[in-house]
Chains A and B, each alone.
Chain A
């Protein structure tokens, strides 16, 4: 049985008299200890997916239909009290910006101890011992002193390490990391990612890594989902997706990486922008930006089909594969 199964998940945002669809038909599985990357541009629905998995969508967003089975239990219809026993306990989340994640008026110790006490019957001193142990695991120097410090006394990288330590406090089965290094200095980003990978591997924790950085995904994850305008457009093993992408959008993302361009040349970019939720085009949402789009693409939305080693949602994948592999041969 997989750790997490998402079936036909759809998320909507309620407007005054109608609702707009933010996520549609999201389907994927995560095995125990597996690491999954979710990539896409801003507005693709990556973060919303992350929050939906925690059942933490804030109004006006809501889960419209679908199932999220975590360890076999559907969390979509769970009561708040039941959900609280899972959040922070079996399923933990790392937020994007450590500067605003931790509460500024509570000490690190208070914020760690309260998490432990919310899920386990522990004395304060026992909880502090566990907290110190976890801080040591994320290489925080002199962890005993950190417990009495406030977030503003620590650097961004240090704070994100503490957030990771908090995520590990109760030895969860799954960690959802929503762009955990976007807000940090480039020099610290690699350290944090390395730490996250090391901890996930050593304690066999499942990881869902939400990011726009394909380089990070290729180093960190086993499998990858590529999202566009609220849908999964390509999924498969990370190595396949990076080395042999099938969807023109994924190809565009990979071609836009600086490594793909000779020094001194302009980076290749995908023309146009991600559509807003209220203006998603008919047919394939990517068709207005796609150089291979046909009339069919502009009318019928493509279904996800298995092609080569990946699952891809593209009408023209056959022709495209032919063209691009020829192109690469040259």
Chain B
């Protein structure tokens, strides 16, 4: 178990190194930092001197190691626009994004399992056909369009929900303000969460349905029937446990992907998270912030996947983590 954990951590470090290399390559090649730092009137000699002082004339390897060394100490550069450390800017925006992803995950987990199981057990009912039909629509429409439609119908049309922002947030600690502690906060997070879930939820319903239908054809399900086991136990113990194993793996990857999808959702709902911030940073050519965003999102991706792999090993008895570490 411990050996496996160590192995996974080393893999994660490898992936982070590749991400940092890409991040550094962007910073190194996107525009001239001198132009951001000094005005038009500075002469070429002074510029060259400044480049030397800033280390911009050093070799690629030397510059990259310096970038990596700083990154390890939490210094991902300074945002041109905010004039603050890029990591601080992102960490301030991170809680809003994580809460949005959490809201969407709640919706996905809460709905995909019962709906997926139902459509697998009773594939020919009208309700199943409606669920499958709507899910195709959900997958097909891009997130930003779903978000705009939701605002149009539920915020503008019916006026049930607010159309933008986080509303009344309650301070928890540090940079963390939460939406989940006030009614107004809840009202604000419902539409963005639904919009963010609109692609993943149908995907998971269909995935669970397909896996479940396959499992229901298996010999061990037939055998459980031959033992006289009650259908509810067959569905929810024998079949569901086997169904969820591959779903967990896909789920881990998709949580990371959802963090990326927040760029669209946050922009449409003016949600003050790091996705919205990223789009603004691109517009302002705020290179350090773009690079920092890339590295932070990559880090979230790697961490969630490592955790999910560990959970998978604990849930699936046929995976022996102790042996996999060897």
Binding site for B on A (CB under 8 A): 54, 56, 58, 80, 84-89, 92-93, 95, 97, 100-107, 114-115, 118-119, 150, 152, 166
Asked, given contacts A84-B230, A105-B317, whether A95 binds B225 with beta carbons under 8 Å apart, the answer is: no
Quick check: A104 and B318 within 8 Å, CB to CB? Answer: yes
Q: Which residues of chain B come closer than 8 Å to A85, judged between CB atoms?
A: 228
Segment with Cβ contacts to A, from B20-28, B85-93, B159-167, B214-222: B214-222
Q: Which residues of chain A come closer than 8 Å to B233, judged between CB atoms?
A: 114, 118
Quick check: B228 and A87 within 8 Å, CB to CB? Answer: yes
- Flag whether B109 is at the interface (Cβ < 8 A): no
Q: Please report which residues of chain B, range 232-284, place their CB below 8 angstroms from some CB of chain A when the two chains form the complex.
A: 233, 237-238, 241-242, 245
Binding site for A on B (CB under 8 A): 217-220, 222-231, 233, 237-238, 241-242, 245, 316-318
Q: Which 9 pairs across A and B sit closest by C-beta, in order of nearness? A: A88-B228, A88-B227, A87-B228, A100-B219, A103-B220, A150-B317, A93-B226, A84-B228, A115-B227
Nearest residue (CB) in B for A116 is B227
Quick check: A89 and B228 within 8 Å, CB to CB? Answer: yes
A95 to B318, CA, bound (A): 22
A152 to B229, CA, bound (A): 22
Q: Which residues of chain B come closer than 8 Å to A119, judged between CB atoms?
A: 228
A166 to B218, CA, bound (A): 19
A272 to B131, CA, bound (A): 50
State how many angstroms separate the Cβ of B261 from the closest Cβ of chain A.
32
Nearest residue (CB) in A for B218 is A100
State how many angstroms separate the Cβ of A248 from the closest Cβ of chain B.
35
A56 to B228, CA, bound (A): 11
Give the tally of cross-chain contacts (CB within 8 A). 75
Asked, given contacts A84-B230, A89-B228, A118-B229, whether A102 binds B317 with beta carbons under 8 Å apart, the answer is: no
Asked, given contacts A84-B230, A100-B219, A100-B220, whether A106 binds B237 with beta carbons under 8 Å apart, the answer is: yes
A114 to B217, CA, bound (A): 20
Quick check: A56 and B317 within 8 Å, CB to CB? Answer: no
A-B contacts besides A58-B217, A87-B227, 19 pairs, CB < 8 Å: A56-B222, A84-B230, A87-B225, A87-B226, A87-B228, A88-B228, A89-B228, A92-B227, A95-B219, A95-B223, A100-B218, A104-B317, A105-B245, A105-B317, A105-B318, A106-B237, A114-B233, A114-B237, A166-B227
Q: Which residues of chain B come closer than 8 Å to A56, judged between CB atoms?
A: 222, 225-226
Main secondary structure of the interface of B (DSSP, over half): helix
Quick check: A103 and B318 within 8 Å, CB to CB? Answer: no
Q: Which residues of chain B come closer than 8 Å to A115, judged between CB atoms?
A: 227-229
Quick check: A118 and B230 within 8 Å, CB to CB? Answer: yes
A106 to B217, CA, bound (A): 18
Quick check: A150 and B228 within 8 Å, CB to CB? Answer: no
A107 to B241, CA, bound (A): 13
Quick check: B226 and A92 within 8 Å, CB to CB? Answer: yes
Quick check: B228 and A101 within 8 Å, CB to CB? Answer: no
A88 to B226, CA, bound (A): 6
A59 to B81, CA, bound (A): 66
Q: Which residues of chain A come closer than 8 Å to B224, judged between CB atoms?
A: 103
Q: Which residues of chain B come closer than 8 Å to A114, judged between CB atoms?
A: 227, 229, 233, 237
Quick check: B222 and A105 within 8 Å, CB to CB? Answer: no
A101 to B226, CA, bound (A): 11
Most buried by A among B219, B228, B229, B237: B228
A105 to B226, CA, bound (A): 18
Quick check: B228 and A118 within 8 Å, CB to CB? Answer: yes
A93 to B220, CA, bound (A): 12
Asked, given contacts A88-B229, A118-B227, A166-B227, whether A104 binds B222 with beta carbons under 8 Å apart, the answer is: no
A104 to B220, CA, bound (A): 8
Asked, given contacts A106-B237, A152-B317, whether A101 binds B227 with beta carbons under 8 Å apart, the answer is: no
Pick 9 A–B contacts, CB within 8 A, sort by A: A56-B226, A88-B227, A92-B227, A95-B219, A97-B219, A103-B223, A105-B241, A114-B227, A114-B237
Asked, given contacts A88-B227, A118-B227, whether A105 binds B316 with beta carbons under 8 Å apart, the answer is: yes
Quick check: A86 and B220 within 8 Å, CB to CB? Answer: no
Nearest residue (CB) in B for A89 is B228
Q: Which residues of chain B come closer than 8 Å to A100, judged between CB atoms?
A: 218-220
State how many angstroms separate the Cβ of B232 from the closest Cβ of chain A.
12
Q: Which residues of chain B come closer than 8 Å to A89, judged between CB atoms?
A: 228
Q: Which residues of chain A come closer than 8 Å to B230, judged between CB atoms?
A: 84, 118
Most buried by A among B217, B226, B241: B226
- Which residue of the partner chain, among A54, A101, A107, A152, contacts B318 with CB atoms under 8 Å? A152
A35 to B229, CA, bound (A): 26
A166 to B227, CA, bound (A): 8
Asked, given contacts A95-B219, A118-B229, whether A103 binds B238 with beta carbons under 8 Å apart, the answer is: yes
A302 to B284, CA, bound (A): 90
A85 to B230, CA, bound (A): 10
Nearest residue (CB) in B for A96 is B219
Nearest residue (CB) in A for B219 is A100
State how many angstroms separate the Cβ of A287 from the closest Cβ of chain B.
35
State how many angstroms separate the Cβ of A168 from the closest Cβ of chain B.
12
State how many angstroms separate the Cβ of A81 from the closest Cβ of chain B.
9
Nearest residue (CB) in A for B318 is A152
